[in-house]
Amino acid sequence: MLQALRKQVCHANLLLVKYGLVIFTWGNVSGIDRESGLV
């Protein structure tokens, strides 16, 4: 579960750059696993 969440968050962060939604390193995507409470 956490490995899949990690891949989704990584992919989403790459899309921020692809679509010009962030400048340099200003901005990110986070994920949460509600079962474990990990962010």
How much is the pLDDT for 25?
A: 74
The model carries a pTM of 0.77
Ranges of each domain in the chain: 1-39
29: how many CB neighbours lie within 10 A of its CB? 15
What confidence score (pLDDT) does residue 24 get?
78
Per-residue model confidence (pLDDT) at position 10: 96
Please give the pLDDT value at position 32.
95
- Tens digit of each residue's pLDDT (9 = 90 or more) over 1-39: 789 999 999 999 999 989 999 987 788 999 999 999 999
- The continuous run of DSSP H or E covering 20 comes out as none
Count how many Cα atoms sit within 13 Å of the Cα of residue 23 in the half-sphere of its side chain.
0
32 closest CA partner among 11, 1, 13: 1
